[in-house]
Structure 1
Amino acid sequence: MTFADFVRLSRAYVWVLIGCTILGALLMIAKTTREPVLYAATSSGLVRVGNATDAGTEQGNSQLAEDKANLYAYLATKTPVAQEVIDELDLDVPPAAIAGRFTPSVDADVNALTITAIGTTPEEARDLANAVVEAVVVVAKEVDGDTGLTKIIPLEPAELPGAPFTPDYERAAMKGAAGGLAIAYAFLIARRLIDRKVRSAKHVEEATGAAVLGVIPKEEVLGRSNRGVRGDLGKAAEAFRQLRTNLRFVDIDNEPRKIVVTSALPGEGKSTVSSNIARLVAQAGTKVLLIDADLRRPMIATTFEVDGAVGLTQALAGDIDVTDVIVESGMANLSLLPAGRIPPNPSELLGSLKMKQMIDDLAVDYLVILDAPPLLPVTDAGLLSAFCDGALLVQASGKTQIEQSQHCRRILDQVGSRLLGVVLNKAPVKGANAIVYGGGYGGYGGYGGGYKSEYKALDAYSTAGKGRRRKSAAKTDKTGKVDKAARTSKAEKATKA
């Protein structure tokens, strides 16, 4: 994880981090309230040995004093010293109860001995600190047979402490806050490191080996029944236009005319992408035919609000000519071929030679875009992409697994299909991942605003009218009028079949 990733993670989960920090501080404060109230008092004195009459004696006495100070510090925490203090203060406690309350330290530069004593009251702490110094000297004489030449000159007798040193709520709060923050970061970083979901263009490119042609932000309008094809795309409008531009430059010398749009699993937005990219390419002046090749869960008829009872399946069965079931979308240059009746054998129909021939014939007059089923659950998309110019793979940010992306690439390679590129769909516009995609899609600023009126006019133009059946030009009478009876009889026959 890079520093930039760390910053994005912090920004995305800032309230989680703050909450864990506060919770950690509160827990430590609650724990500290159960600690006893203790006071600490400190007394100190200088350790001196004999009376030196010359420099040599003084140096020897100084070294001896240092040794004595270290001995006193060692003895301060022992039971004999504690017993001496008990006798001096007339305490009714066992020596072991107060032996651990003394903390000695030695300053070797001046041979000073400092004793810190802990008590449950200010008076007890002061009396213990003062008594232990004298007790150490007494015990030391008994241990090494001192003749009285060594003494401790009081330097700073203990005074009454003004406040207890524990519980220290401020220190406890700081420790708890630091601990809570550290645990929160550890959890978030571990969660991110073990996450195997596609969350960035880099993940997709590494998994599939193909370029990301577009990153579509998560937008509410795309989740509706019409998938944004008859309304403003919101923040996703510019992303779809960028996808349209990138798709045109996939292969300039051999421009794809038959494109399969698929995904790894259902719910990743392949129908949304295919519908909107078909609409925008048609809007740019290219004749487009959008075929609903998902014969298991067809969506195109519902999306464009057209009649989908008769369509691709009847044409493949030979019940009706394909030109009679092509539907006008109500948008310039965009025609639709609904799925028709759902068959019991979708894979056989889509993989048939008749399907291949039909697509080849239609590709002469149209840029054919096929909304195909997902790759992993069924084989339909693989069969279609085998005789098309390439596949456009849709992946959902935060949903598709990296292993699933890799498996999709293997399937396409096995059938000899060309992966034109990948569309990363449902990219979050807020949070850590939004930074990866350029800081969110609200930051186009003046650049996007300058074209707002133009985009609005184009969208209004492209969404005018409703879907309607394309008039058949195949049969006319001698007066040049359309033979409506012949066309109606074919449609009725196909419906009954």
Structure 2
Amino acid sequence: MTFGDFVRLSRAYVWVLIGCTILGALLMMAKTTREPVLYSATSSGLVRVGNATTAGEEQGNAQLAEDKANLYAFLVSTTPVAQEVVDELSLDVPPEAIAGRFSASVDASVNALTVSAIGSTPVEARDLANAVVDAVVVVAQQIETGEDNPKTPALTRIVPLSQAQLPGAPFTPDYRSAAMKGAAGGLGLCYAFLVARRLIDRRIRSAKHVEEATGAAVLGIIPKEDALGRAHRGVRGDLGRAAESFRQLRTNLRFVDVDNEPRRIVVTSALAGEGKSTVSANVARLMAQAGTPVLLVDADLRRPQIASTFEIDGALGLTQALAGDVDIREVILESGMDNLSLLPAGRIPPNPSELLGSLRMKQFVEDLSHDYFVILDAPPLLPVTDAGLLSAFCDGALLVQAAGKTQIEQSEHCRRILDQVGSRLLGVVLNKAPVKGAAAIAYGGGGYGGYGYGGYKSEYTSREAYSTAGKGRRRLAKLGRS
């Protein structure tokens, strides 16, 4: 995953990320409310050894004081020191229970010992911090002399530097720190889930995925549009945002091979429901609008769609012509649109593959391609062999893939099937591409990797401005002449 993919992922799931961040902070704060209220107090002192009378003695004492300070820091959290504190403060707790409440640090530059103590109340924390300083000297002297009550004065002493004061507020529970940790944890877990989900996702989500799986160029990216999901599949002209994408597909299809322009193509997909009938119907309509005589053949003899899409009578059609009951040109119907003719499927036969792969079907397509640009709406490639048989005697196949639905392995299998029958894959149409939302991350939030609509909008705006400016200049010229 590149940095750009990470940014698009963040933009697409921004509200999910925010929600997980807030949830993590709230959960951590809720957990923190169960923690006890504790206070911390700190006292410090300078470790001194003897009374030096010369500079040499002072230097030796300073080194010894540093060693003693490190020893005291070690002894602070031990049980003997805790016992001295319990005895001094007359506490009714075992020393083991409070030994872990003490901690110490040493500043070697001045041989300063800083002691921290934790208590359930401000007073307890203050008294514990002050008592530990005295207790640690006593325990150290007992260890050095081996006597419980040494009679000789201690060589080492701690000169108080600052007595512990009453803490103003507890250090735990720390809701701010807990909220920050919870927010960071929630955000991190959310990112980990999203990135892992993206890495293991094997569905087609970008033109790059399609090109890597099929080795063919993406001729068009059709955005998801409600009008395309209706019964008429957008053939009435209400394509919405998909209109310009279909025009671009029509242009790319015409120029896919300028030296050997295809005259008969098969439109198919990997599985049902990817929109191959929608693509074939609208490409046929737009090519007819451009002045090319087009014949749209419903070659899906298992689930025919063309008759219902264009609202024509599909009782007679291709199957009767293949059976020899009628002449092929007698069942070609007018669509009501200029240059667009339709050949419905007719009665659904028991042997579709045999009919579509027959020599008669091949001859029909060859004869009709002299007068029409023939587009065959074929069944999906993976469930049945019909599309492979048809593409073998056509100029090529147009493969429709549904963004976010078709698996990469399915695309690769489709390419292998076409290669096995010797068919040419003209290109791929990425259909049902989401324009916005989480699923649009691979397309840059609707930009489709260079197939965006912002450029068209600005172009139309520029043309309108230029046209308006021209009218204004002509109007001014007429006024000047008059």
Name 2:12's counterpart in structure 1. Answer: 12
Alpha-carbon separation, structure 2, partners of 1:156 and 1:345: 99
Please give the alpha-carbon distance, in whole angstroms, between the structure 2 residues aligned to 1:334 and 1:409: 30
Q: Shift in Å at residue 450 of structure 1?
A: 6.6
Counting only pairs closer than 5 Å after superposition, residues 235-384 of structure 1 correspond to structure 2 as: 235-384=241-390
Secondary structure (helix, strand or coil) at the match of 2:265 reads: strand
What is aligned with 2:458?
A: 446
Matched, 1:209 2:221: no
Which residue of the partner structure matches residue 463 of structure 1? Answer: none
| TM-score normalised over the length of structure 1 | 0.89
| 2:45 and 2:158 in contact (8 A); partners too | yes
1:465 aligned partner: none
Task: Please name the residue that 1:387 is paired with.
Answer: 393
Per-residue deviation at 1:52?
1.4
Distance 1:172 1:419 in 2: 58
- Tell me the distance in 1 between the aligned counterparts of 2:241 and 2:269: 22
Q: Would the aligned equivalents of 2:8 and 2:445 in 1 still touch at CA under 8 Å?
A: no
Secondary structure, in 3 states, of the residue corresponding to 2:296? Answer: strand
Match of 1:184 in 2: 190
- Specify the alignment match of 2:101 in structure 1: 101
Q: Where in structure 2 are there 5+ consecutive unaligned residues?
A: 146-151, 447-451, 465-482
Q: Describe how 1:53-202 pairs up with structure 2 within 5 A.
A: 53-145=53-145, 147-202=153-208
Q: Does the aligned pair in 2 maintain the 1:141–1:147 contact within 8 Å?
A: no
Q: Which runs of 5+ in 1 are unaligned?
A: 453-497
Output the CA distance in 2 between the equivalents of 1:37 and 1:213: 66
Q: What amino acid maps onto 2:431 in structure 1?
A: N
Aligned residue for 2:114, secondary structure, equals: strand
3-state SS of the aligned residue for 2:205?
Answer: coil
* Conservation of the 8 A alpha-carbon contact between 1:310 and 1:340: yes
1:22 aligned counterpart, secondary structure: helix
Contact 1:8 1:433 in 2 (8 A): no
Structure 2 residue aligned with 1:461: none
- 1:254-299 CA-to-partner distances (Å, cap 9, x unmatched) read 1101100000000000000000000111111110000000000000
Matching residue's letter, 1:88: E
State how far apart, in whole Å, the 2-side matches of 1:229 and 1:438 are. Answer: 29
Greater alpha carbon shift after TM alignment, 430-439 vs 359-368 = 430-439
Q: Deviations over 1:316-359 (max 9, x none)?
A: 11111111110111111000000001001000100000000000
1:402 is aligned with what amino acid? I
Taking the aligned partners of 1:437 and 1:114, their CA distance within structure 2 comes to 59
Greater mean deviation of Cα atoms: 440-449 or 95-104: 440-449
The structure 1 segments of at least 4 consecutive aligned residues displaced by more than 6 Å after TM superposition are: none
Which secondary structure does the structure 1 equivalent of 2:348 belong to? coil
Question: What does residue 431 of structure 2 align with?
Answer: 425
CA contact (8 A) 2:9 2:441 kept: no
Residue identity in the other structure for 1:123: V
Q: Which amino acid aligns with 1:25?
A: A
CA spacing shift, 1:439–1:22, aligned 2, 3 Å: closer
Aligned residue type for 1:341? R
2:47–2:158: 8 Å Cα contact kept in structure 1?
A: yes
Q: Report % sequence identity.
A: 81
Supply the distance in 2 between the matched residues of 1:196 and 1:436 (Cα, whole angstroms): 13
CA distance in 2, matches of 1:282, 1:372: 20
Q: 1:431 to 1:451 in 2, by over 3 A?
A: farther
AA of the residue aligned to 2:342 = L
Query: Is this contact kept in 2: 1:8–1:431, CA < 8 A?
Result: no
User: C-alpha separation between the residues in 1 aligned to 2:397 and 2:277?
Assistant: 14
The size of the alignment, in residue pairs, is 452
What SS class does the counterpart of residue 198 from structure 1 fall into? coil
1:235 alignment partner, SS class = helix
Partner secondary structure for residue 335 of structure 1: strand
Distance 1:451 1:245 in 2: 21
Give, in angstroms, the shift of residue 435 of structure 1: 5.1
Helix, strand or coil: the match of 1:272? helix
The answer to whether the Cα contact below 8 Å between 1:312 and 1:338 also exists between their aligned partners in 2 is yes
Report the alpha carbon displacement of residue 439 of structure 1 after superposing the two structures with TM. Answer: 4.2
Alignment partner of 2:295: what SS? strand
The amino acid across from 2:212 in the alignment is E
Amino acid at match of 1:315: A
